[in-house]
């Protein structure tokens, strides 16, 4: 069995982080032998809650990384560069995993199919640049609310966590492109690069977890920035992936049991 690393990035989640970390510790298999925690500019009690929870963890290497409120792209890259295993599963600080050995389940599409770059449990879809809005339209969407547990939904892009990557492919691609900093479309970009360069797909494979929209609101004061970035980074995606955005679309619902 391949070994797995787990990467959790945290920004000011003292109200939720105990439940997030507890869900991971209860539900990660023994194949996940490395746990990387990125504390990204936390000014609350997130660190003082998390560290005691991980202090006595056995048979897993625990790595802490500190970044200076750099947002998701750079924070994820800081953690990704410490990965020591074949696969990496990224968890966001607003996700409570509820399925035992979820990491082994997410590994199944990689072992069953030879052309998989990433597996998400949120949504997978194709993408098209909308000339009228200046943004990316998501099409051919498979999400966890309309999916079967027996199907791997292969598309161009796997959206958000829980998200597992083939780590050696991530290294070959040069990690997340910080051209998209501070955040937005960086995970879309790396999926599209994997498809263009390696012919590898990204897709949805269902696991049980909980993530409420209000849990991801610790950077609400930056909503104007997020809105602006959605236009800027959509244009960057068009610059890099125009042929794929306007080309034929991959829609494959593969049996995976």
Between CA 224 and CA 246 the distance in angstroms is 29
Q: What is the pTM of this model?
A: 0.95
| pLDDT tens, position by position, 111-134 | 999 999 999 999 999 999 999 998
Output the domain CATH number for residue 222: 3.90.550.10
Confidence of residue 257 (pLDDT cuts 50, 70, 90): confident
Partners of 88 in the β-ladder: 5, 165
Taking residues 181-191, report their average pLDDT.
Answer: 91
Enclosing domain of residue 244: 4-255
Phi, psi of 45 (to 5 degrees): -95, 20
Is the pLDDT at 222 greater than 90? The verdict is no
Asked if 251 and 155 touch (Cβ cutoff 8 Å), the reply is: yes
The tally of domains found in the chain comes to 1
């Amino acid at each position: 069995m391949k070994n797995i690393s787990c990467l959790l990035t945290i920004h000011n989640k003292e109200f939720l982080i105990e439940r997030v970390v507890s869900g991971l510790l209860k539900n990660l298999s023994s194949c996940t032998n490395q746990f990387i925690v990125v504390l990204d500019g936390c000014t609350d009690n997130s660190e003082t809650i998390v560290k005691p929870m991980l202090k006595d963890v056995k048979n897993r290497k625990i790595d802490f990384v500190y970044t200076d409120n750099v947002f998701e792209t750079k924070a994820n890259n800081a953690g990704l560069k410490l990965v020591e295993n074949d696969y990496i599963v990224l968890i966001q600080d607003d996700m409570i995993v509820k399925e035992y050995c979820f990491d082994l389940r997410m590994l199944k599409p990689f072992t069953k199919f030879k052309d998989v770059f990433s597996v998400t449990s949120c949504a997978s879809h194709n993408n098209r640049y909308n000339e009228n809005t200046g943004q990316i339209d998501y099409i051919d969407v498979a999400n966890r609310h309309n999916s079967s547990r027996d199907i791997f939904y292969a598309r161009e892009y796997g959206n958000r966590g829980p998200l597992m990557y083939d780590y050696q492919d991530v290294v070959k691609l040069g990690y997340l492109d910080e051209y998209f900093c501070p955040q937005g479309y960086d995970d879309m970009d790396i999926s599209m690069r994997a498809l263009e360069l390696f012919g590898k797909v990204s897709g949805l494979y269902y696991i049980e977890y909980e993530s409420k929209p209000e849990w991801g609101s610790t950077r609400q004061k930056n909503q104007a920035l997020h809105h602006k970035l959605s236009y800027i980074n959509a244009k960057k995606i068009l610059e890099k992936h125009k042929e794929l955005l306007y080309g034929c679309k991959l829609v494959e619902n593969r049996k995976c049991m």
